[in-house]
Amino acid sequence: MFQQFLVIMALSAAIYMLLALGFTLIFGVMRVVNFAHGEFVMLGAYALYVVQDVLGVGYAAALPLAALVAGLVGVVCERLVFRRFVGDEIGSMIVALALAVTLKGAVTAVFGTDGPSIARPISGVVTLGGAVIPKDQLFAAAVALVLVALTHRLLVATRLGLAMRAVAQDAEAARLQGMRPWTTYPAAFAVGCALAGFAGALTAPIYGAAPDMGDAALMKAFVVVVLGGLGSIPGALIAALLLGALDAGISILFDPTLAALASFGAVIAVLLFRPSGILGRA
Amino acid sequence: MRLELDSVGLRYGPVTALSDVTLTVATGTTAAVIGANGAGKSSLLRAIAGLEPLAAGRIVADGADLARLDTEARIRLGIALSPEGRRLFPEMSAADNLRAGAFTRRAGPAVRRDLDRVYTLFPRLAERRASLARNLSGGEQQMCAIGRAVMSEPQLLLLDEPSLGLAPKVVGDMARAIATIAASGVTVLLAEQNSRLALSLAQTGHVFEAGRLARSGPAAALLNDGDVLRAYLGEEVASPPAGPIPAVPLPL
Amino acid sequence: MLRLIRHAALAATILSAIAGAAGARAQAQETLKIGVLGTLTGPGATWGLAIDGGARIAADEVNAKGGLKVGDKAYKVEIVAYDDQYKAASAVTALNRLAGPDGVRFVLGPIGSASLLAIKPITERDKIVLFTASWSAAVLKDSNYIFRVGPTTQEFAPATIAWLKRTHPAVKRIATVSANDETGWNSQRIQKEAYGKAGLEVVAAEHFERQQTDFRALLTKLLAAKPDSIELDTTPPPTAGLIIRQAREQGYKGLFTKFGGFDVAEIVRTAGADYAEGVVGISQGDPASPEWARLREAYAKHHKNEMGDFVFLFYDAARLLFAGIERAGTATDVDKVVKAIEQSAPFPGTVGPLTWGGKEAYGVDHQIYTPLYLVAIQEGAGRVIGKVDLQ
């Protein structure tokens, strides 16, 4: 049972990392709390459905295309909505909630309330040391980790990443280096939303898609990001592991309700004793 | 780069920060901008960098009016500002801050050579290159800020209070570094409350008082005019470095 | 911004003009509004849409015949639907809208026990007749205006478990999984009791959160108890499908029963046909029957999703209500309508006679008994493998 715990923890932590990474990236760079993050996860899932199951494109191509769709919608939303709320945490939160309702409503209007039937490209399990590892989950976790690593490369080793970090830390000083915040913001938003889209497209074949699937995704991202410190990427990675362990451990020993309670308990404890999060800075 | 300011005025809402400032800095020279706290020195540098819109007048660099260029475009034109308070990227390493300074340039041997020059200029910074900017000492942060500005390969370098809050020994190091940079042919506009330091590094000096240019002249003349110092700047706090500051030739 | 406001104002004007015109047409024949209160979005949507679909099919039929004959008037029936999102607070808001501005006296739904218990005081106070399929035992207690149109765990668990024992003698150890809310706790308690009474051992009883999609941790614990059969109880069908799939992936070889709202299409969709093979559930109708085909065709005119068996319940409930109103000769005297409905048993339901009961368990004979089919999923479709008569 302990091996199974490790497997469940690791597999869910990888997805939590991916969910939280885009959320914390957008906050870090733009100081925008994107409460519509879950809806971009949902858009990724539905985009995968359209590309894979309606248009008949193979999963390997449909997956990045779905993330691209989420990223493009993100750019449009940045242009039309979030641009005006850069740095305004309360204002951005409110428009993001409005956007979340709008996106959910739009998807419901087009696809209905029932989740679409999404083909599962990967099935079967591998057994490792007495633990069962479903291949589809293993694949999703592996891709999630690769994406986390790629995002890290993007941030530390590219000009765009340098600009994102600089704009996040001091937008005016960044302008003095010739970086343009107004092109960096949509880029960061696109990357954040594309990561959310990937999370949706990776998990849709496993758990299905539904218009309200973003709520649970946002909750996980939110818990991870608050635990790790808003805007802190290393913090989010550690917190994702912590949440994975908490979720899996308490669900196995007790029940999922207590696990959910415990994760929020952890959030409250962190906010009380270390308000900036595990690795965040006040 | 030759810099000309023609009747420049600047306002923050109802408050006038600069009015009717006309001055010229010749290519390859160093000009000191001195004056008490709030005299408009920072506003002047920010206006040249395009961070503040002008209320009146115009700023011309090498014959081109800068009015239609935003900050990012002025940086690409060869203007660099090391701002008041240094404004490093605190969560980035010293090396990444320097990389950020070279943002507008194509990565290549020229950038690498300039990076080596910065580390030669500030050996202490080379040792601390992997540290996060927020963990650097005040002096190291100032080195990093000037280094970052130099990394954009500027033709006009605007330095805002580089000596502020530094220990006397570090002030001397900083002065030598500025002299070295100036000696490489860069036009330097140096805003300082430490007017003795600034005037000793500059060829010309401009004394500001309440947003107006009160007096301009050769730096040496202003430096020897005790009345100027007393009348406009009050008592000096830091002692001036002894003698003229020698420029260290840069390895090219 | 100003332009946006102008456009919004224009749109509102056009909409109200259209609504006004429609209203004027409807005035020619008097309209009787019937409320629908159900979960129209999210994992419980299958059931909420079934309420809405059943009500609309019955309304279409009665309108096609020239409307509801009450005394010497004919009413056109209009359905007004609200989404309770499976939340008590939304249900209260919706009912207040129905009872207030909409002037509705007859409501079909809701399904969620939390929703129903929250609005119960209002229905009793404002005399609103409610037809629900909510499963809590507390629903009918001391209520004069609430009817329950489908059998609940309380009614069918002894019969379905007896059937299981008879047909699957090797099954001895039972695990149950239910949602962590009023519905789930209540139905699981009854299931555990009934399994115990039948001499089967309940080795694990788990609850999950409604929005949960990953059950691997929960299943790790549950499968460690080595059950022969997993009872999915009142778990929403899409969620049940995910549990089935994840349990099969973790190597579970035993039986699945879902003696509680069953939906073949949803379970097959989320579990996959291979994993869903052999899952046994209950149904209000036989998917192979001509009645099912007829309702399915009518349902498709209103909703895009595959029809669930709860449509049978609410289609019959709406017909029962219409018959009651016609019989009472009034659409306004609610007490008379309730009396007429109480006296109309046995009512000819779509699959068999509907009768009243429940006095013993709930203190009032407002529980409707219907025949119940046992359905097994075979090659992705539901096949009737048995039928039990309740009561």
Tens digit of each residue's pLDDT (9 = 90 or more) over B92-103: 999 999 999 999
Report the chain A residue with the minimal C-alpha distance to residue B51.
Answer: A172
| End-to-end Cα spacing for chain C | 64
pLDDT at A226 > cutoff 70 = yes
Question: Mutating which of C52, C90, C216, C245 best tests the A interface, going by the most A Cβ atoms within 10 A?
Answer: C216
Q: How far is C157 from chain A (nearest CA, A)?
A: 25
Please tell me whether the peptide bond between C237 and the residue prior to it is cis, using omega within 30 degrees of 0: no
Residue at C23 is within a domain: no
Look-up: residue for tokens 């006038």? B16
How do the pLDDT tens digits run along chain C, 391 residues long? 444 444 544 444 444 444 444 444 444 578 999 999 998 877 678 889 999 999 999 999 999 999 999 988 899 999 999 998 888 889 999 999 999 899 999 999 898 888 888 999 999 888 999 999 887 778 888 888 999 988 888 889 999 999 999 999 999 999 999 998 878 888 899 999 999 999 999 999 999 988 888 899 999 999 999 999 999 998 988 899 999 999 999 889 999 999 988 888 889 988 988 999 999 999 988 888 999 999 999 999 999 888 888 899 999 999 999 999 999 999 889 999 999 999 888 889 888 888 888 888 888 889 988 888 999 999 998 899 988 887 6
pLDDT bracket for residue A59 (50, 70, 90):
very high
Same domain, C270 and C238: yes
Buried-state track B66-76, b at ≥16 Cβ within 10 A, e below 16: beebebbebbe
Contacts of C213 in chain A (CB under 8 A): 203, 207-208, 213, 216
Q: Do both C272 and C301 map to the same domain?
A: no
* Same domain for C82 and C57: yes
Are residues C260 and C378 located together in one domain of the fold?
Answer: yes
Q: Are the Cβ atoms of A165 and B103 closer than 8 angstroms?
A: no
Chain A neighbors (3+ CB pairs < 8 Å) = B, C
Neighbours of B (≥3 Cβ pairs closer than 8 A)? A
Residue B80 with chain A: CB contacts under 8 Å: 176
Q: What are phi and psi of C207, to 5 degrees?
A: -125, 145
Tell me what the pLDDT averaged over chain B comes to: 89
Q: For residue A272, what pLDDT band results from cuts at 50, 70 and 90?
A: confident
Question: Are C272 and A120 inside 8 Å of each other by CB?
Answer: yes
* Average pLDDT, integer, range A228-252: 88
And the tokens for A41? 């996860």
Q: Which residue of A has its CA nearest to B102?
A: A177
Do C333 and C298 fall within a single domain? yes
One domain for residues C166 and C198: yes
CA distance C348 to C368: 12
Query: What is the phi/psi pair of residue C386, to 5°?
Result: 180, 165
Asked if residue A1 has pLDDT above 70, the reply is yes
DSSP one-letter string for C7-41: HHHHHHHHHHHHHHHHHHHHHTSEEEEEEEEE--S
d(CA B147, CA B132): 15
Instruction: Tell me: cis bond preceding C346? Omega within 30 of 0 counts.
Output: yes
Query: Min CA distance, A4 vs chain B (Å)?
Result: 38
- The span from the CA of C10 to the CA of B211, in Å, is 54
Among the partner residues A162, A169, A176, nearest to B71 by beta-carbon distance: A176
User: Do B and C count as touching (3 or more CB pairs closer than 8 A)?
Assistant: no
Q: Which of A125, A211, A257 sits opposite C209 (nearest CB)?
A: A257
Q: Is residue C25 part of a domain?
A: no
The answer to whether residue A179 neighbours chain B at the CB level (below 8 Å) is: yes
Q: Which residues pair with B18 in a beta bridge?
A: B10
Cα C221 to chain center, whole Å? 31
Place of tokens 């629903």: C139
C101: DSSP letter: T
**Would you say C235 and C243 are in contact if contact means Cβ atoms under 8 Å apart?**
yes
d(CA A193, CA A196): 5
Is there a contact between A252 and C266 if contact means CB atoms under 8 Å apart? no
Q: Which residues of A touch C246 (CB under 8 A)?
A: 134
A96-111: average pLDDT: 92
To the nearest whole angstrom, how far is the Cα of C197 from the nearest Cα of chain A?
26
Per-residue confidence (pLDDT) for residue A114, from 0 to 100? 73
What's the rounded Cα separation, in Å, for the pair C371 and C360?
20
Domains plus CATH for chain B?
3-233 (3.40.50.300)
Lowest mean pLDDT across A118-132, B9-23, B168-182:
A118-132
- Based on the fold, state whether residues C266 and C322 are members of the same structural domain: no
Domain count, chain C: 2
Question: What value does the mean pLDDT of chain A take?
Answer: 90
Using the predicted structure, report yes or no on whether residue B252 has a pLDDT greater than 60. no
- Same domain membership, residue C264 and residue C166: yes
Distance CA A116, CA C306 (A): 11
Chains with at least 3 CB pairs less than 8 angstroms from chain C: A
| CB neighbour list of residue C303: distance below 8 Å, 6 or more residues apart | A112, C49, C52, C53
According to DSSP, residue A51 is labeled I
CA distance B81 to B156: 9
Residues C237 and C384 in one domain: yes
Q: Is the peptide bond before C110 cis (omega within 30 degrees of 0)?
A: yes
Mean pLDDT of the A244-265 span: 87
Lowest mean pLDDT among A8-17, B77-86, C15-24, C147-156: C15-24
Q: In this structure, are residues B178 and B188 in contact, taking their beta carbons and an 8 Å threshold?
A: yes
CB contact under 8 A, A210 and C220: no
Contacts of C31 (CB under 8 A, 6+ apart): C75, C76, C77, C78
* Domain limits for position C235: 153-283+374-388
pLDDT digits (tens, 9 = 90+) for B32-62: 999 888 889 999 999 999 999 999 999 999 9
Q: Are C324 and C337 within 8 A, CB to CB?
A: yes
Q: What is the DSSP string of C330-365?
A: -SS-HHHHHHHHHTTPSEE-SSSEEEEE-HHHHSSS
Instruction: Judge if pTM exceeds 0.80.
Output: no
* Confidence band, pLDDT 50/70/90 cuts, at residue B244: low
Assess B101–A contact: CB distance below 8 Å, yes or no: yes
pLDDT score, position B89: 96
Task: Establish if C108 belongs to a structural domain.
Answer: yes
Residues C128 and C188 in one domain: no
Give the nearest chain A residue to C241 (CA atoms). Answer: A207
pLDDT value, residue C111 = 85
In a domain? residue C127: yes
Hey, are the CB atoms on A177 and B71 less than 8 Å from each other? no
CATH for C85: 3.40.50.2300
pLDDT at residue C292 in the model: 92
Question: ipTM for the complex?
Answer: 0.90
Q: Do chains B and A touch (3 or more CB pairs under 8 A)?
A: yes
Report the pLDDT value the prediction gives residue A83, as an integer from 0 to 100: 86
C41 & C105 share domain: yes
Residue B232 confidence (pLDDT) above 80: no
Q: Check residue A31 and give its pLDDT.
A: 86
Where residue B239 falls among pLDDT bands split at 50, 70, 90? very low
CB contact under 8 A, A176 and B75: yes
The number of beta carbons lying within 10 Å of the beta carbon of residue C27 is 9
**Token pair in block for residue C49:** 């849409």
pLDDT at A195 over 60: yes
- Please give the pLDDT value at position C27: 43
C202 falls within a domain:
yes
Examine the domain organization and report whether C260 and C302 are in the same domain: no
Contacts of C97 (CB under 8 A, 6+ apart): C82
Any chain B CB within 8 A of the CB of A157? no
Q: Which residue from A182, A165, A175, A180 is spatially nearest to A232, judged by alpha carbons?
A: A165
C318 occurs within a structural domain: yes
The angle subtended at Cα C334 by Cα C346 and Cα C121, nearest 5°, is 100
Identify which has the larger pLDDT, A127 or C55: C55
**C359 in any annotated domain:** no
Beta bridge partners of B44: none
